[in-house]
Structure 1
C-alpha cells in the first residue's frame, strides 16, 4: 500500500529541524513541512492537511461542536507567561496584584498565551472585569489579523489600530501583555521592562505549584485526512517525539550556538526533568484541564468545557 503524503504548516521551531531537514522520517507517511512566519489558519488553506494551531481556538471550536480538526497532544509551542507583562522602565508597578483597575494592552483577546497570562492576574486576586483592556498590535499594525475571535467582546475590552508599545510609552496604558518583545526592548535604551524583576523565579515557582509549563500551540490534522488514514495521529506524534529528542541530543553535543547554551540546558534539566515539553494526552491532562477552566472563568467560553473532549480517544 502506498504511504500517504501529507502537508503540514508550522513555524520553524528548533525541535522540528530534524524533520524539516529530512534527517528523521516516518515509515507510516511522507511529509511535506511548510515553514511559516505566522501560525496558519489550517481550515482556510485547502492545500494543508494540518499544522500548528492555537490551543485556545482549537478548544473553543471543539466546545462549540466544531470537530473539523483533530487535535494531537503535541504542543510545539509552550512557555511560561510571567515574562510577557511589560511596563515602562520608570513605572512603579512591580507585581501582578498591582494591576487592579489598570489600563492594559494585549495582542489578542481569546489567544492561548494571553489566556494563560490573564490567569496569572486572576491568581493574584485581580478582577479582570475591573481592567480597561485594549487589543492591538505591539508595534506596527498587521491588517487582516484576527485578534478578537468571533464572540462579542466584554464591555471593558476595546480594539485599537495604534501601537500598544507607543500607547504604553505615552502613558495611556499602564502595562501590555505580549509574547513578542517590542522593537528596541533588548537595547540599553529600552523604554520598557518586565513587570516582574525576577520572572524566572516566579516561573519556577509556578511549575512547582502546578506541575506543567503552559501549552500555547498544538498540532492538528483535518478530520477528513484522519478518516482516510486513521493511523496518522499516532504516527505524526511519534515522529515529532523522535524529532524533539533528537534535537535535544544534538543541542547537548553542539552547544556553541549560544555562549551559555550548555548551562541553560543543564539548568532546564535540573528544574523540569528530562522532558519539559511532554507530548501525549495523559502527560498534558492537568494542563488541559486548567486551560479549559480558565477559558470559562474568564468568560471566553460561555459554558464549562469538559477537558476529556479536547483529545477524544
Structure 2
C-alpha cells in the first residue's frame, strides 16, 4: 500500500471546509490530521510562534508581518474566512461619538493591534472616513502574534493582565473598541455600548460597491520546509480546498437544509451584490486588489518595512493553463 504524507492541519470548523474535515475530500497523496479545537487567536499564535502545525488557517495580517520578518512560512491563496467589518466598531454611547471622525483624539481599545480585522478597520477608517490611524490613542489587551515595536508617532499602550477592553468600554475608560468578534456588552444588551455605524450592512454594501472588496481575513499558511521538500503538496492542497468549497457551495444552494425563513432571498441578495463566488480562492483580479489593499494598510501603519508583492506572499498553485481537470 502506498504511504501518504502525513500533515497536521489546524483550521476553523467551517461549513466551507466540511468536506475536508469529514474526509469526503482528501488531497492526493496526503493524510491530513485536522485539528479544529482552537480559537483563531490561539491557532495563529501556536502556528507562527510555536510552529506546532504543518499547515494552518492563519491571520492574513500576521502572516504578512511574518514574511516581512523573514520567518519560514509560506501561504496558499486559500481564504477560509472573510468578513465585512463595519459592524465591529463599538462605542461608549455617552462619549458624544456620532460619526467616524469623532474618534480622532479618542482612546480606542483593541484585543491586539496586529489582528487582521483591526488592520482592515484602521485602514477603512483612514481611507474611507478621514480618521488617520495615528490620530487615535490605542490600547491593546493581548500580546501580539509577532514581535512588535510601535512605529514612531503611534500612541500605543499595552494594558495589564487585569484589564479587558470590553469592560473598559462599558465603564467609560475607553471611548471605543475595534474588535474581531461581537463583544459581550452588545450580546448582553448593555445600554452603555453601541455601534459606531448604526446601519453597518448599508455601510458594508456601499463599501463593496466603491471598492469591490469583501475583506479577506485568513490565508492558508504552510511551513516553508514542507514546500521545499515536497513541492507537489502545494497544488494538491489547493485543489482539495477548492473542491471542498465547490462541494459546500453546491450543497448550501439547497434552501431546505438551512432553518431560515428567507434563506433563499439572502442567498440571492449576496449573489446579486458580491457575484456568483464571493469566497473565491486564487490570485484573481478581485483577490489581488483585496490583498494588495491589506498589504498597503500594513505598510502605511508601520507593521511591515515594504509593500511586499503578492508573488512573494503566495505560492504558485497553477498546474498549467487549462490543466488539472482532464479525465484520468
TM-score, normalised by the number of residues in structure 2: 0.85
State how far apart, in whole Å, the 1-side matches of 2:244 and 2:114 are. Answer: 30
**Which residue of structure 2 lines up, in the alignment, with residue 193 of structure 1?**
194
Contiguous gaps of at least 5 residues in structure 2? 317-328
**Which residue of structure 2 lines up, in the alignment, with residue 135 of structure 1?**
140
Residues 222-261 of structure 1 aligned to structure 2 (within 5 Å): 222-253=223-254, 254-261=256-263
Shift of 1:312: 4.9
**Which residue of structure 2 lines up, in the alignment, with residue 62 of structure 1?**
67
Shift of 1:46: 5.7
Which sits farther off after the overlay, 48-57 or 19-28?
Answer: 19-28
Contact 1:73/1:281 (CA < 8 Å) preserved in 2?
yes
1:308 corresponds to which of 295, 301, 311: 311
User: Are the structure 2 counterparts of residues 203 and 46 from structure 1 closer, same or farther at C-alpha, using a change threshold of 3 Å?
Assistant: closer
Contact 1:107/1:147 (CA < 8 Å) preserved in 2?
no
Shift of 1:148: 6.5
Q: Is 2:105 the partner of 1:104?
A: no
Residues 278-297 of structure 1 aligned to structure 2 (within 5 Å): 278-283=280-285, 284-297=287-300
Shift of 1:99: 1.1
Shift of 1:82: 0.8
State how far apart, in whole Å, the 2-side matches of 1:48 and 1:148 are. Answer: 15
User: Are the structure 2 counterparts of residues 178 and 264 from structure 1 closer, same or farther at C-alpha, using a change threshold of 3 Å?
Assistant: same
Which sits farther off after the overlay, 255-264 or 165-174?
Answer: 255-264
Residues 83-162 of structure 1 aligned to structure 2 (within 5 Å): 83-90=87-94, 92-123=96-127, 124-136=129-141, 146-147=143-144, 149-154=146-151, 155-160=154-159, 161=161, 162=163
Contact 2:48/2:145 (CA < 8 Å) preserved in 1?
no
Contact 2:27/2:240 (CA < 8 Å) preserved in 1?
yes
**Which residue of structure 1 lines up, in the alignment, with residue 86 of structure 2?**
82
Contiguous gaps of at least 5 residues in structure 1? 137-144
User: Aligned Cα RMSD in Å?
Assistant: 2.1
State how far apart, in whole Å, the 2-side matches of 1:259 and 1:61 are. Answer: 44
Kindly tell me the number of residue pairs found equivalent between the two proteins. Answer: 304
State how far apart, in whole Å, the 2-side matches of 1:189 and 1:57 are. Answer: 32
User: Are the structure 2 counterparts of residues 307 and 135 from structure 1 closer, same or farther at C-alpha, using a change threshold of 3 Å?
Assistant: same
Contact 1:109/1:148 (CA < 8 Å) preserved in 2?
no
State how far apart, in whole Å, the 2-side matches of 1:166 and 1:47 are. Answer: 32
Q: Is 2:260 the partner of 1:263?
A: no
Shift of 1:219: 0.7
Contact 2:170/2:192 (CA < 8 Å) preserved in 1?
yes
State how far apart, in whole Å, the 2-side matches of 1:95 and 1:240 are. Answer: 40
User: Are the structure 2 counterparts of residues 199 and 47 from structure 1 closer, same or farther at C-alpha, using a change threshold of 3 Å?
Assistant: closer
Moved over 4 A (4+): 43-47, 187-190
